[in-house]
Structure 1
């Protein structure tokens, strides 16, 4: 039986977390995720809800791809890293507008959360081999 490497464990954990977050977007944490919709987007309820539902569907898709789609791991890692970059303005908005959600009820907690975004980006790249792919592409 083949031993599962650290990269695979991280990839599956990240995929599982994305799957859970996506389900949470669509169900029991829907209101809290609306707190992360950037305030430069329209803040009416329908737009905020559509943003949360759409991102939840993307998260479920990326989570399943991270776990199951072995043939396209590099592409999936690149897509997940890009997704983390694209949702960063929501986290930044939560910090700048002092919005409490997910237990992030102080500026310090919200700021510390911002520091974890690069870790997620790199984790998506590293666990799928997309980091090496990018280095090889950029060195040519």
Structure 2
């Protein structure tokens, strides 16, 4: 789970950095400096992905990635509700519905991969 989640966040982080302008329409109006925020979140995703793999930073990275997943939810909602077209991303509820429903799973996965929770898979002590 840790390696898979790290891979997902490396991919998403790179997308944030190389396609910043394409993601600008997703940012809610109340977000200050949206371009900078997208780039900063890309760097945070990369740092979180690496941190999740290192025992010394695993718990902090897990908390950061879980908080990140909560914080980007408004942009995901805006994308779905306002039907914002982004090249390469479907604009259908077949895409948006599962994406929005799956966001809490990303929060759980980060916390589980970081060893902060063990629900529902109990680890042996």
Tell whether the 8 Å contact from 2:10 to 2:49 is kept in structure 1 after alignment: yes
Alpha-carbon offset, residue 56 of structure 1: 0.9
Alpha-carbon offset, residue 116 of structure 1: 1.1
Q: Which has the higher helix share?
A: 1
Q: Distance in 2 between matches of 1:103 and 1:89?
A: 17
User: Which structure 2 residue ranges, 5 or more long, are not aligned?
Assistant: 119-125
User: Which structure 1 residue ranges, 5 or more long, are not aligned?
Assistant: 1-9, 133-140
In the alignment, what sits opposite 1:94?
A: 79
Q: Is structure 2 residue 41 aligned with structure 1 residue 55?
A: yes
Deviations 1:52-75 (A, max 9, x none): 1111111111111112x2123222
Tell whether the 8 Å contact from 1:98 to 1:107 is kept in structure 2 after alignment: no
Quick check: which has more Rg, 1 or 2?
A: 1
Runs of 4+ displaced beyond 6 Å: none
> SS in structure 2 opposite 1:70?
coil
Tell whether the 8 Å contact from 1:11 to 1:127 is kept in structure 2 after alignment: yes
Q: Give the structure-2-normalised TM-score.
A: 0.81
Tell whether the 8 Å contact from 1:75 to 1:130 is kept in structure 2 after alignment: no
Q: Is structure 2 residue 38 aligned with structure 1 residue 41?
A: no
The alignment yields a C-alpha RMSD, in angstroms, of: 1.8
How many residue pairs end up in the alignment?
117
